[in-house]
Structure 1
Amino acid sequence: MSNILRSFSSLYFATLLMVLASGVLTTYLGLRLAADSAAQIWIGGMMSAYYLGLVAGSKIGHRLIARVGHIRAFVASAGITTASALGHALIDDLAIWLVLRLLVGMGMMCMYMVLESWLNEQADSKNRGTVFASYMIVSYLGLVLGQLAISLNPELTLKPLLIVAMCFALCIVPLALTRRIHPAPLQPAPLKIKLFWQKVPQSLTTIAMAGVIVGSFYGLAPAYIAHSGASTEQVAAYMATTVIAGLLAQWPMGRLSDKIRRSRLIRTNTVLLGAVVLCIAILPLSGVLQLLFTFAFGILAFTLYPLATAMANQNVEQEHRVALSATILLTFGLGACIGPLLASAFMQLVGNSMLYGFMALCTLLLFLRLTQVNYQQKQQDKELPQDYVMASGDLVSSPLAAALDPRVDQQMVQEQMVHPHHPDADLPTADQELSSQDSNGMSAAESVTGTVTIEAEPDKPQQSDHNKPA
């Protein structure tokens, strides 16, 4: 573990600074808009614009990295992201803020692609799991540190934006000075959305709903807590507690999914998550009890995506997994774009409690859809062809029909088929047919143009005589 951390220290340190800056910016914007009494739809729109930028950046990032290489693409993206973050301090127009959030999302996706493709190429089969597990731990640690940085600046001045700019600028340094081998250019992954929605519908439905729930939480939870009268420090503690729960749940849930069928585990997770968010929406929670419920929410909500991803990969062939990864990222990104907009609309119409009420509705729809798909798949398994199928059509009147009858002598069938009009060929009587039953229950026939062999399948049981066509 220590050797891996040292080997990839530059990439991990860049990831830590980048995610820390992103976490500070997301929470700061939510609190700033809530303090300015902005409509909930604007707060949701900010997060939707960010995830829309992530989706768009996946395509732009591939082209940029292929054209100029990983390090130059990372530097350019970090520069654009830094300028966009500082733009929030210069302009107060919310429409411009949406554009800035879009640019931040595009830059972040490009930087993610640089880091993850670099790690994927430099890691080998012996340490790949440990490398990416460490990467996820560093990412969650960056999110937690971002919430703690917000708590150190509760006045919501320009200081958090300066911290964001500094972190985005400093994350360039480790990659610029790294001595690791430069990775090969990326190859665009093809999208096969229709194919995978038919092949793994439960997984992609879960991933889409996970995007809706997680996107709604990151975009609107700071404003939701702030509107309940919590201070900036309490909002930061609330967000940090949820992220820590998601981090701690990854390993145990992964081990559990190796022992329990993943489709059943996802449905159980969905039911428990629905109960938790419904309690948060209805009960007047505060203090430690509120932190306990959001801790449970983090455990259940942040494990839906990895569970669904694992279930999708176990049902897809190796050669399709690159395309599957692209489809999964697109599905999650689109869900995260739509979620904050819908949740903010519900909150504006009904009240702040509808953030978790909306999540409860999402879990209900997800459970109903998963149950429906699971039932349909079981019915399809029952309707698979059986071992014995009644012959019909032209085969009944064909000379080969006699070859399928076990009561007919094999040698006699061959003579009849080779010389059907031979004057000395006598037709077998019924007693002769019954006495010449083949011990194997099937027979073969040879024609003038070739040989047709019809044998019993070894994995299928023989049929009894009263089930065979007369």
Structure 2
Amino acid sequence: MFSPLVTFPALYAATLLMLAGSGLFSTYMGLRLTEEGAGDAWVGGLMAAYYFGLVCGGKFGHRLIASVGHIRSYVACAGLATVIVLLHVLVERLEVWLLLRFVMGAVMMNQYMVIESWLNEQAESHMRGKVFAGYMVAVDLGLVVGQGLLAMLPSLDFKPLVLVAICFASCLIPLAVTRRVHPAKLVAAPLEIGFFCKRVPQALGSIFVAGLMVGAFYGLAPVYASRNGLDTSQASLFVAMCIVAGFCAQWPLGWLSDRLDRSWLIRGNAILLCLTAIPLWGLFSLPYWLLLANGFVTGMLLFTLYPLAVALGNDHVEQSRRVALSAMLLTTYGVGACLGPLLAGLMMQRFGPGMFYVLVSIYALALIFWVQPKRVTGRHRVDEAPLSHVPMPDTLSPMAVALDPRVEEVPEELLVETSASIGRSDDEPETREMA
């Protein structure tokens, strides 16, 4: 029987090591800056710079891969990521760190592109769902392993940075020695902003809100935990619990998503998220176990918004446009992920750590009013809708669509870049679908 873990061990191992380093690095940076009193705005700014680098890195990654190939570009970027991490040991100026985080984002985007384009080309079309699921397991397991490493080595000196550098250096080994054939070259596809803003505005709004919250989470959730009196190990466990919760909720949510109206599910998710975040506002002190429990529940709801919105958008877009739809969704998510840490950092610095979850409730409340199931006319609903729900990693990678089994027969050479040039708007008469 086909097993992705057996067929693609090098790609999954590289993903796990890469995300372990990335997860450890983000949490370490937030906790260290908090300990040194740098201010939450700086933590948010550094995370925003990272996501901005991810968004801009699509063009860079496409050109680098086209010039030197997949393995060479991955090895080069893994080496550069290792250098960037070690520079944090030698240089302690926050302005320099801001630039380094931007470069790290661009480098990581190239690595995501290499792995996902490779998985897409090597996987048979009827098995892409399993391959995608295996990739998501590697992503989330890597993030959790990163938190575990920090919990085992809670000192906020240079030692965690050495661990991050080891992870980034190690992740190039599996791909450097693999015998698999290189994927084909990558070609960009256009981004049709006007068409999708008319066709699936509710899906785009949900994606944007998900970006605001998830982008802020990875940088500022450790700060929230630390400012609430948790030590490094406890803060790492809090972040890990939220990530695990999102992972565990993907499959039960997928079962519901295939049977219930997705716009109602998004709205219900937002209502629950708005309410479950209230105990974390900081109005009263919570014991550690209750903080973990609340974090687990909010993590379940927060990390399932993105795949729900993707599924809703795909239900109302024809097969021929789903690659372009992914470009639009990724761009929208990336903009939200850039703005979210900035806003959350500024608000936390001014009003206290509880503002992190106050903002979560505010975003969820906005989503409740934005997603209106009665405004989904169904005019553009595809014949096979609802399409099978697919768990989605939130790595902001442009090749995720190619792995998505809802996109049938994607040409091997096709890549949607988050920084792709804007295509012409569709001139056909269009009814606002509000999906």
Q: Which residue of 1 aligns with 2:302?
A: 301
Aligned counterpart, 2:398: none
1:244 corresponding residue in structure 2: 244
Alpha-carbon deviation of 1:73? 1.2
On the 8 A contact 1:80/1:103 being kept in 2, the answer is no
Q: Contact 1:11 / 1:115 at 8 angstroms: preserved in 2? A: yes
Deviates most, 256-265 or 190-199: 190-199
Which residue type is aligned with residue 330 of structure 1? T
Q: Name 1:92's counterpart in structure 2.
A: 92
Give CA-to-partner distance per residue, 1:412-463, whole Å, 9 cap, x none: xxxxxxxxxxxxxxxxxxxxxxxxxxxxxxxxxxxxxxxxxxxxxxxxxxxx
Q: What are the residue-to-residue correspondences of 1:112-191 with 2, within 5 Å?
A: 112-191=112-191
**Counterparts of 1:229 and 1:10 in 2: how far apart (Å)?**
40
Residue number in structure 1 paired with 2:403: none
Separation (CA, whole Å) in 1 of partners of 2:89 and 2:306: 34
Alpha-carbon offset, residue 186 of structure 1: 1.0
Counterpart of 2:193 in structure 1 is: 193
Note closer, same or farther for the CA distance 1:3–1:199 as it changes in structure 2 (3 Å cut): same
- Give the residue type in structure 2 aligned to 1:86: L
Tell me how large the CA RMSD over aligned residues is.
Answer: 1.5
**Structure 1 residue 86, shift from structure 2 partner:** 1.2
Which amino acid counterpart does residue 134 of structure 1 have in structure 2? G
Q: Distance in 1 between matches of 2:29 and 2:227?
A: 14
Task: Give the length in aligned residue pairs.
Answer: 379
Residue of structure 1 in register with 2:288 after alignment? 287
Q: Which residue of 2 aligns with 1:368?
A: 369
Which has the higher relative contact order, 1 or 2, with Cα contacts under 8 A spaced 6 or more apart?
A: 2
5+ residue gaps, structure 1: 382-470
Query: Whole-Å Cα distance in 1 between the matches of residues 20 and 344 of structure 2?
Result: 25
Task: Give, in whole Å, the separation in 1 of the partners of 2:309 and 2:286.
Answer: 31
**For 1:238 and 1:83, how far apart are their aligned partners in 2?**
29
Q: Which residue of 2 aligns with 1:209?
A: 209
| TM-score between both structures, scaled by the size of structure 2 | 0.85
Deviations 1:52-75 (A, max 9, x none): 010001121112112221111111
Cα separation, partners in 2 of 1:317 and 1:379, compared to 1, 3 Å: closer
2:384 equivalent in structure 1? none
Q: Which amino acid aligns with 1:303?
A: T
> Residue 278 of structure 1 corresponds to which residue in structure 2?
278
**Residues 1:30 and 2:30 aligned together:** yes
Higher Cα Rg, which structure: 1
Stretch deviating more after TM superposition (188-197 or 161-170): 188-197
Could you list the per-position Cα deviations for residues 296-350 of structure 1 after superposition, in whole angstroms to 9, with x for gaps in the alignment? Answer: 0111000000010111112111111111111111111110100011111111221
Could you tell me how far apart the structure 2 residues matched to 1:146 and 1:105 are?
Answer: 17
CA distance in 2 between counterparts of 1:351 and 1:4 reads: 45
| Secondary structure, aligned partner of 2:3 | helix
- Aligned pairs for 1:383-398 within 5 A: none
Shift of 1:277: 1.2
Q: How far is the alpha carbon of 1:261 from its aligned partner? A: 0.7
- Taking a change above 3 Å as real, the CA distance of residues 78 and 380 of structure 1, as seen in their structure-2 partners, is closer
1:213 aligned partner, one-letter code:
M
Q: Partners of 1:218 and 1:363 in 2: how far apart?
A: 18
* Structure 2 counterparts to residues 30-49 of structure 1, below 5 A: 30-49=30-49
Using the TM superposition, give the Cα deviation of residue 37 of structure 1 relative to its aligned residue in structure 2, in angstroms: 0.6
Are residues 380 and 7 of structure 1, via their aligned partners in 2, closer, same or farther at CA, if it must alter by over 3 Å?
Answer: closer
* Cα separation, 2, equivalents of 1:59 and 1:362: 30
Q: CA distance change for structure 1 residues 352 and 163 in 2, over 3 Å: closer, same or farther?
A: same
Deviations 1:6-47 (A, max 9, x none): 110000000010000000100000000000011111010011
Q: CA deviation at 1:376?
A: 4.2
Aligned equivalents of 1:129, 1:375: Cα separation in 2: 31
d(CA) in 2 for partners of 1:279 and 1:200? 33
Write the distance in 1 (CA, Å) between the matches of 2:24 and 2:58: 23
Structure 2 distance, partners of 1:153, 1:254, is 36
Change (3 A) 1:11 1:380: closer
Letter in 2 for 1:302: F
SS in 1 for 2:6: helix
Q: Distance in 2 between matches of 1:286 and 1:332?
A: 34
1:400 maps to what in 2? none
SS in 1 for 2:181: coil
Partner of 1:412: none
C-alpha separation in 2, matches of 1:113 and 1:286: 42
Letter aligned with residue 354 of structure 2: S
1: distance between equivalents of 2:23 and 2:109?
Answer: 14
Read off the aligned partner of 1:309 and give its amino acid letter: V
Deviation at 1:118, TM superposition (A): 0.7
Match of 2:421 in 1: none
Shift >3 Å, 4+ stretches: 374-381
Counterparts of 1:379 and 1:149, CA distance in 2: 48
Partner residue, 1:410: none
| Partners of 1:155 and 1:176 in 2: CA distance | 32
Following the alignment from structure 2 to structure 1, what is the Cα–Cα distance between the partners of residues 66 and 193?
24
**Which range is displaced more, 38-47 or 77-86?**
77-86
Percent of pairs with identical residues: 50
Report how far residue 84 of structure 1 moved. 1.1
Q: What are the residue-to-residue correspondences of 1:219-238 with 2, within 5 Å?
A: 219-238=219-238
- Residues 374-412 of structure 1 show CA distances to partners (whole Å, capped at 9, x for unaligned) of 44445999xxxxxxxxxxxxxxxxxxxxxxxxxxxxxxx
Could you say if the C-alpha distance between residues 339 and 144 of structure 1 is closer, same or farther in structure 2, counting changes exceeding 3 Å? same
- Aligned equivalent of 2:359: 358
Residue in structure 2 matched with residue 336 of structure 1 by the alignment: 337
CA offsets, 1:137-195, max 9 Å, x none? 11100000000000111111111111111111111111111111211011112111221
Residues 214 and 336, structure 1, Cα contact 8 Å, conserved in 2 = yes
For structure 2, the 5+ residue unaligned runs are: 381-435
